[in-house]
A = this chain, B = another copy of it.
Amino acid sequence: MIEEVLFDLLHIEMVNVLTGPCETNKTELNVTQLENVGYNTGYRLIKRITRETQRIKEELDVMKFICKDFWGAVFKKQIDNLRTNHQGIYVLVDNKFRFIANISSGKQYMGLMPKYLAFSCGLLRGALSNLGLKAIVTGEVVSPPSCRFQVQVSRS
């Protein structure tokens, strides 16, 4: 319980310190930095999570593992919905995404949302990378606190 609070607080502080009001001229750069922090964290965290599991070979199985075990370890809930076009695009829906669960859903706050997704997009990209999948990950707030992450696996 306290661990979750600590994680949430650290995340908020990181968003604030990197994209806070005094840095508004650097917002884009700093969202990228947040994404990188997420990438490094995801890359190293999944290493620990999969230390005692067998290598997952199939792309779809990797995605399922990410949705269930990885998301579960980080956010204490699984991804609610996973869809794919079977051509390398996956859509992961979290109906109650923790990092925006406490932000008011008023329209005036919608502009704030992307910076609360950047870390988690990186987290997914880093975890996937460690499991052998190079991907582009983008996030979108559909209707808060519901979020959609799109993963586009590069097969080249």
Contacts and interface: CB of A to CB of B under 8 A. Distances in A.
Contacts of A37: 10, 13-14, 17
A2 B41 contact: no
Interface stretch (A44-52, A54-62, A78-86, A137-145): A44-52
23 contacts: A2-B45, A2-B48, A2-B74, A3-B3, A3-B4, A3-B6, A5-B48, A6-B41, A6-B73, A6-B74, A7-B7, A7-B10, A9-B40, A9-B41, A9-B45, A10-B10, A10-B11, A10-B37, A13-B37, A14-B14, A14-B17, A14-B37, A17-B33
A18 interface: yes
A10 B2 contact: no
Given A2-B73, A3-B7, A7-B7, A41 B18 contact: no
Contacts of A6: 3, 7, 41, 45, 73-74
A7 to B, nearest CB: 6
Nearest to A40: B13
A109 to B, nearest CB: 20
Interface in A1-31: 2-7, 9-11, 13-14, 16-18
Contacts of A36: 17
A10 B14 contact: yes
B13 A41 contact: yes
A28 to B, nearest CB: 16
Contacts of A18: 17
